[in-house]
Chain A
Amino acid sequence: MITDACICPRPRGDSSVRRMALEAHELGFDSLVAIDAPTCEYAGVSVMSGVLVRGAFAQEILPRVKRCKGTDTVVIVEAGDSGFNRAVLAMRGVHVLCGVHLTDRYGFDHVAAKIAADSGIAIDISLAPIIHERGATRQRALDRYLDIVMLQRRFEFPLVLSTHARSVLEMRSVREISALASLVGLDVGDVKQALGNAGRLCSPEPAVRVIQ
């Protein structure tokens, strides 16, 4: 399933979730993770409900994560400093850690990468800074993403790709996402896997599969 791992429809943005689903269908997506929107299906696109959790301390976000436990809501936590990120990556119920490009260089290091790989929490590569930012901000984001991709190849934690679109004008097609992701060293196979990871977050494959 090809999924945009984070979009922000109305009231955060200027487009309704239905309109974004229509656009996503035209752009080649099968599903979307929509922040603060109910789970539904529209125009053949399955919309997964998502929640964006922000906090300064791990204890601060814990109640919100616990509230989503047992539901099909995708829990996305905004990254913070190194200690916060390590605590979040070890927390049950978290699916995605986003905004790693906004943290300092040591915010997501090899230790955090190892924890993410062990707990199966995905790291989000948001294409928003590549599309919308210019100059030093975009260069810093590209640099951080290159570092994340290097760590991903070593530790094999899941990656997800998102546009963080607040409008249909900020959404990009699968082909465009693939081209933009090539700037951070992701080839077509990596992009395909990253776009498929978001759909698997809420229903991960069990460690042991009973055949008979």
Chain B
Amino acid sequence: MTVRPPTLREKRRYVLVRIAPAGCIPDPKELYLAVHDAATVLWGDAVASLIHPAVVAVENGCAIVRCRRGMERELAIALSTVTSCGGQRIALRTCATSGTIESLRERVASVHRSRPPSSGGPAECMIDGRLFMVCHCAGQKVDVIEKGFKNTTRFFLTTEDLEDQ
């Protein structure tokens, strides 16, 4: 297959999204399916085919999503309706749009640097008489999961909330 000359290639845009909650690394294929589903359900097949979304990379808690040039707005709206990926609750926060992946990779590094490092907070804590396991602790933010194999709900708290308990 011959490669098309640059003038005949379709123009693309790349959208950088931050994946919440911190520490969640979704499978790129699962993320692609979630983004594609959100775009199709919101805009319908005709517009989704024009958006032509694709997940290019997932790295350092961020993802780079590709779309056709001129469809960035539609993609960004669709991204904000993504609520789960592979059965896990997530949120995709749009950070930047660019014409090249390279510039977004630089941005990924700056987003990664701006995040407070995961600190070694308490391993366990008691809230309302129940035992919780700290699964992520960065800066003032603390994410906990109730101990036990049945309940895997994640709670989003702060260090002050834990001190109050």
Residues of A within 8 A of B (CB): 10, 14-16, 18-20, 22-23, 27, 43, 130-132, 134-135, 138, 167-173, 175-176, 179-180, 182-183
Main SS at interface, chain A: helix
Known: A176-B76, A179-B73. A22 touches B83 (CB 8 A): no
Question: Judging by beta carbons under 8 Å apart, are B140 and A22 in contact?
Answer: yes
Q: A115 CB to closest chain B CB, in angstroms?
A: 33
At the interface, yes or no: B153 with Cβ under 8 Å from chain A?
A: yes
Top 8 A-B pairs, shortest CB-CB distance: A15-B156, A176-B80, A169-B91, A18-B158, A19-B156, A16-B161, A168-B156, A16-B157
Given A22-B141, A173-B93: A168 and B20 interface contact (C-beta under 8 Å) = yes
Using a CB–CB cutoff of 8 Å, the interface residues on chain B facing chain A are 20-21, 41-42, 73, 76-77, 80-81, 83, 89-91, 93-94, 140-141, 153-158, 160-161
With both beta carbons as reference points, the residue of chain A lying nearest to B156 in the complex is identified as: A15
Q: How far is the CA of A8 from the CA of B160 in the complex (A)?
A: 19
> Which residues of B sit under 8 angstroms from A20, Cβ to Cβ?
156
Complex: how many Å from CA A171 to CA B20?
Answer: 11
Residue of A with least CB distance to B154:
A14
A176 touches B20 (CB 8 A): no
Check A14–B81 contact: CB distance below 8 A. no
A101 to chain B, nearest CB (A): 16
Q: Which of A18, A135, A169, A175 contacts B20 (CB 8 A)?
A: A169
Q: How far is the CB of A203 from chain B (nearest CB, A)?
A: 28
Among B90, B153, B158, contact of A19 (Cβ-Cβ < 8 Å): B158
| Residue in A43, A168, A171 with the greatest tally of chain B CB atoms within 10 Å | A168
What CA separation (Å) do A172 and B77 show in the bound complex? 11
CB neighbours (8 Å) of B154 from chain A are 14
11 contacts between A and B (CB under 8 A): A14-B153, A16-B155, A19-B141, A22-B140, A22-B141, A27-B93, A132-B83, A138-B42, A169-B156, A179-B73, A179-B76
CA distance A170 to B81 in the complex (A): 10
B140 closest partner in A (C-beta): A22
**Contact among B77, B91, B161 for A170, CB-based, below 8 A:** B91
Q: Interface residues of B: mostly helix, strand, loop or mixed?
A: mixed
Give every chain A residue within 8 A of B141 (Cβ-Cβ). 19, 22
CB–CB A172/B158 < 8 A: no
Given contacts A15-B156, A16-B155, A171-B91, 4 further A-B contacts (CB under 8 A): A18-B161, A169-B156, A172-B80, A179-B76
Contact of B94 among A14, A18, A175 (CB under 8 A): A175
Residues of B near A132 (CB, < 8 A) are: 81, 83
Q: Are B89 and A169 closer than 8 Å at their CB atoms? A: yes
Q: In the bound complex, do residue B76 and residue A167 qualify as a contact, i.e. CB atoms below 8 Å apart? A: no
Chain A residues with CB under 8 Å of B21's CB are 168-169
- Are B155 and A14 in contact, CB atoms less than 8 angstroms apart? yes
CA distance A170 to B90 in the complex (A): 9
What residues of B have a CB within 8 angstroms of the CB of A138 in the complex? 42
Could you tell me the distance between the alpha carbons of A183 and B20 in the complex, rounded to whole angstroms?
Answer: 24
Tell me whether B155 and A15 are in contact (CB under 8 A).
yes
Most buried by B among A22, A23, A169: A169
B77 and A167 within 8 A (CB): no
B89 contacts A18, C-beta separation under 8 Å: no
A135 touches B41 (CB 8 A): yes
- In the assembled complex, which residues on chain A have CB atoms less than 8 Å from the CB atom of B140? 22, 43
Give the docked Cα–Cα distance between A168 and B158 (Å).
12
